[in-house]
Amino acid sequence: MSRYTDYFDNNITEEHCVMFNQTYSVPPTTTGSYSGSQNWTATVINTPITSNADSFMPGQRSWRFRIDTQSNYGNRLRNNNSSFMALVSDNSYSAGVWLRSGTLPSATGAAAVCWAMRPASRGFFVSIYKNQVTGDPQYGKNQISITVGDKLVTFENDNYPTIDSNVWNYIAIRRDGANGYIYLNGEQVWSSSSIAINTTAAMVGYDFGNVSTTWNQDIDFASAYIAGYNDVTATEISNLWLYGSPTNRISGTLSDIKYYDGDSWEPSTDQKVYHSGGWQDVYASRWNGSAWIPV
């Protein structure tokens, strides 16, 4: 069991969680207090949904979804059971996911949604892409866009440098009626107290991936949860990031970790160590007598 899983199991009261820590199969293994009906269906066109041996935590898996330019060509996993979607239909929820984008392609249109509870007026949309819209102030920048209710928020890579290809990011959204918050990698980056409340739009589904878009993209998912608004708070969101992140993504600075190049010990500028046949991210922890705590 990883320190992230240990913290999650002992501190988070989630209604529903998909860890993606298994060989791909449908329905996915789920945990949490929600025990109602579910209806997981996978749309898989030509390119299969695959299981990755790596995830944001060593020893855990993730699932890769392909989004493709060809019409109705790609992968989507959806749960459209009405009782399941009621977890967010009251406009009060806390949701989070770890995701990673493959090579960020050029885009000529709006971002393709890759994680969503549809419609956004009662749930949320999340997209990661490279902005190639001529004339846009953010042209050429890696971006993440998140829609909550009637609010569309875009974050670009000058302010959030970890939003890049092949880098894990932890995205969390909390909403309670008109009040909403977005967190990137454990930090609150947006809030609103004026989200329009919609209780009548028909709920469509809880989605990972997408079946068509304007560019090609691989998206990896791990550890997605939906919980009550007060069940996963800002403090717990910060801790989930700390417990799931290597030190080079927490501090953003160089460390005293060194590697031996055959002649001498040199600074490990990427803060990685060579172990088990490959370079591994570094996780710094201390033992408090009962659990490993990030330092």
Asked whether residue 253 falls in the same domain as residue 209, the answer is no
Asked whether residue 110 falls in the same domain as residue 179, the answer is yes
Q: What is the pLDDT of residue 251?
A: 38
Q: What is the mean pLDDT of residues 155-181?
A: 84
Which CATH number do you get for residue 224?
Answer: 2.60.120.200
Strand order, beta sheet including 151-156? 40-44, 75-79, 205-210, 115-118, 124-130, 142-148, 151-156
Asked whether residue 36 falls in the same domain as residue 97, the answer is yes
pLDDT tens digits, residue range 40-61? 999 987 788 999 888 888 778 8
Domain count along the chain: 2
Q: What is the pLDDT of residue 227?
A: 96
Asked whether residue 139 falls in the same domain as residue 266, the answer is no
User: What percentage of residues in the chain have a pLDDT greater than 90?
Assistant: 47
Range of the domain at 264: 247-294
Q: Given 244, 259, 276, which residue is the final one in a domain?
A: 244
Q: What is the mean pLDDT of residues 132-143?
A: 77
pLDDT band at 231, cuts 50/70/90? very high
60-74, 169-183, 215-229, 267-281 — which one is most confidently predicted on average? 169-183
Asked whether residue 286 falls in the same domain as residue 201, the answer is no
Asked whether residue 64 falls in the same domain as residue 117, the answer is yes
Which of helix, strand or coil describes residue 242?
A: helix
88 in Cβ contact with 174 (< 8 Å)? no
Q: What is the pLDDT of residue 249?
A: 42
Q: What is the pLDDT of residue 275?
A: 61
* DSSP conformational letter for 229: T
pLDDT band at 161, cuts 50/70/90? low
Model pTM score: 0.84
CB neighbour list of residue 122: distance below 8 Å, 6 or more residues apart:
88, 89, 91, 149, 198, 199, 201, 203
Q: What is the pLDDT of residue 166?
A: 80
pLDDT tens digits, residue range 253-266? 334 556 667 777 76
Q: What is the pLDDT of residue 72?
A: 62
Q: What is the dihedral of CA 253, 254, 255, 261, to 10 degrees?
A: 160
Flag whether pLDDT at 116 surpasses 50: yes
Q: What is the mean pLDDT of residues 100-107?
A: 74
Q: What is the mean pLDDT of residues 271-283?
A: 63
Work out the mean pLDDT of the chain and round it to a whole number. Answer: 83
